[in-house]
Amino acid sequence: MLDQPQAEPGPGFCLNNPALPWLNAFTRALAGHAEWRTIQQKNDPHIFENLSKGQSPKILWIGCSDSRIPAEQILNLKPGDVFVHRNIANVLSPSDLSSLSVIEFAVAHLKVEHAVVCGHTSCGGVQAALANKSLGVLDMWLQPIKQLRFEHGKELEAAGEDKVRKLSELNVLNSLEVLKMNPTVIEAVRKRGLQLHGLIYDLKQGKLETLDGEEEEDVRGRKFDVFAVE
């Protein structure tokens, strides 16, 4: 059995030992957790007791797994405020059970008021979709983005150096379309005004920017007619 991790280094432990890089990072993470916990309890002595009773987030956040885009931090929100789902390149597919389960739980049971799809600049998944190198199982995962590359080839070429960003934006809008055709989402939009949003996070500026995912009323109505279920 593996030893339980220690929050503090033991005797003779060298934090900067290059032979143990993962342990160094993990030890720092545990120390950071202890500091974070202290700060949270100082700001709100009952925070963890209240969180243990349940959750009622207002936002569903569907983003990229990239370590540089932690939802709660860049939104400056507290634990319990955001229900988060992250995967490689924030891809939404109508056949992906993982994302479908998250959407169902967040929208139908937690009754979030906003559903957000957030992409970002310099996305490794999008860059991979623009290349033609074999990436194993990721080749299939990135297929929806490659399809966008195919459909918007001229537009992407015209973007020049902004090609990666442009494809990232198209990917966000495409994932929004998947949300708009989800029966659970359609019902929530119709009955209680669930709002859908597309965002791009600019890594160089540390700034969120909105994408225009609005559509005409008749288009929305036709989608409701086709994809809604009873």
Annotated binding residues for Zn(2+): 64, 66, 120, 123
Count helices and strands (H / E) in the chain: 11, 5
Query: Which of the residues 66, 85, 149, 165 is marked catalytic?
Result: 66
Catalytic option among 33, 68, 190, 222: 68
Is 64 labeled as catalytic in the residue annotation? yes
Using only C-alpha atoms, the chain has a radius of gyration, in whole angstroms, of 21
Angle formed by the axes of helices 163-180 and 143-151, to 10°?
A: 110
**Known catalytic membership, residue 33:** no
Give yes or no: 14 in active site. no
If DSSP codes are grouped into helix, strand and coil, which group holds residue 225? helix
Q: Which residues are annotated as a binding site?
A: 64, 66, 120, 123
Report the C-alpha gap between 196 and 62 in whole angstroms.
11
Neighbours of 114 (CB within 10 A): 14
Q: Which of 64, 118, 149, 165 is catalytic?
A: 64
Helices 217-227 and 183-192: crossing angle in degrees, nearest 10, is 130
Catalytic hit among 85, 118, 120, 165: 120
Residue length, the chain?
230
85, 118, 123, 165: which is the annotated catalytic residue? 123
Active-site residues, by number, are 64, 66, 68, 120, 123
